[in-house]
Amino acid sequence: MTSKMITKTVSTVDELATAVKAAVLKIVVQGQIEGAPSLRLAPGQSIEGEDDQAALSFAVGQDGLQLTTDNVVRNLHVETSADQRAIFNDTSVDSLGTIHLYDVVTVGQVQLLARDKVRGGHVEVDGLHVIAADARAHSDRPAGFGVRVIQGAFTLWNMQADNQVVISANLVGLSAGHPAAPVLGSGIFVSGPGFDKGKLSVQLLETGAVYSDGRIAPGTPDVITGGVFTVHGAYVGTVRNLGPVVTYGVNDMALDNWGQVDIWEAEDKITSYGPSGIGFVNFGIVNELRVKAPIETFGQGARGFNVYAGTVNLAEFDRITTHANGAVGVQISQPIGQLRVLRGIETFGATGESLVKGVVMTLSAIGLSIKPGGSAREITIDGGVITHGEGIAPLEVHGEIGALHITGATRAAQA
């Protein structure tokens, strides 16, 4: 009886293909292997780099490494064309088992889907940087609130519309893009199949720097992206953004939640440059939200913080600044608990168009706006609320505020 080879070190395409087909349990990549065809790891196989120089490059126009069940990818640079999938999974198997990605760098999307036969599994990520990816061509996009969401450079999506199917995950050390070269589409994208259907259960989602640009055509009302996006059916214990999150294009939200998050903490600056982008927008449920560095937006209609559906029990911000017409500082359309801003709200624009739930509307760059149906148990703003646009009021209250405390100037500061 011949025992299966445990470990094989490979340095050529032929050696790699042979090791994969022979179901070698552990494949070690030595040096840089270029021009590989798309490869499918067998259940239980792992692939890792011998050292930090190890790289696996796939042929132009080819997807890269296809995972099945209980696979490990470690200490490896995996490269495809930016519009291909560097790492993806075979949806004809019954379960992901446990998929491990450790210290992985890619050019190309990392896409893990629970669909077709896949009805279970766990994903463990500890260190993943997507240098470049373009996810815009994928037609599968979650839909809700009048819009569809483009997938991300990292996409983990339970697409099984069955309450019995739960995919779990622990996602640490994810980053995407660079300031001069953002990923195209969303950045970090985690989703379940919809509202009250299946479930994606994430214990921790921790990101470093994320730079993304959806490249959505101006005037498009029904497509959006997010720098870090927890979509419907995503249940997350903690989201922690340790690095900056920056979006550049039309309808590119920086932080967006349609799911349910217990604690969301952002440690670094949140910036949106494009029209109708938002610093943090909530359509789901967040228990505690703390943004410990400034939110700043520059595009027309690019608001600082919005609650359009769902609720937030506690929302605490360092400072919120917007610069363009229609760019409201804070807009509340649903009942929330406490809102705190530690260093003020300031807007520099006047009136202009902005995308609201799939419809382009005219908004004024009011500092704090409580819309009909919106309410807050308590609002505390230190540092004042200042608007600079002509005829733009600092406050607009059409809903209810239980207690309002503002220190510092509250004024329209236009000349």
CB neighbour list of residue 81: distance below 8 Å, 6 or more residues apart:
60, 61, 62, 107, 108
Q: What's the pLDDT score for residue 414?
A: 60
Q: Alpha carbon 128 to chain centroid distance?
A: 14
Give the DSSP per-residue string, 131-142: EE-B-TT-----
Q: What's the pLDDT score for residue 352?
A: 85
Q: What's the pLDDT score for residue 4?
A: 61
Q: What is the pTM of this model?
A: 0.96
Please give, one letter per residue, the 3-state secondary structure of 19-87.
HHHCCCCEEEECCEEEEECCEECCCCCEEEECCCCCEEEECCCCCCEEECCCCEEEEEEEECCCCCEEE
Smallest CA-to-CA distance from 250 within 267, 272, 268 is with: 272
In tens digits, the chain (415 residues) has pLDDT values of 344 679 999 999 999 999 999 989 999 999 999 999 999 999 999 999 999 999 999 999 999 999 999 999 999 999 999 999 999 999 999 999 999 999 999 999 999 999 999 999 999 999 999 999 999 999 999 999 999 999 999 999 999 999 999 999 999 999 999 999 999 999 999 999 998 888 999 999 999 999 999 999 998 999 999 999 999 999 999 999 999 999 999 999 999 999 999 999 999 999 999 999 999 999 999 999 999 999 999 999 999 999 999 999 999 999 999 999 999 999 999 999 999 999 999 999 999 877 777 777 788 999 999 999 999 999 999 999 999 999 999 999 999 999 999 999 888 876 5
Lookup: tokens for 414? 């236009």
Q: Alpha carbon 145 to chain centroid distance?
A: 17
Lookup: tokens for 32? 């840089």
Q: What is the pLDDT of residues 54-80, one digit of tens each?
A: 999 999 999 999 999 999 999 999 999
Report the DSSP pairing between strands 351-356 and 359-364: antiparallel
- Residue 214 and residue 221: Cα distance in Å, rounded? 13
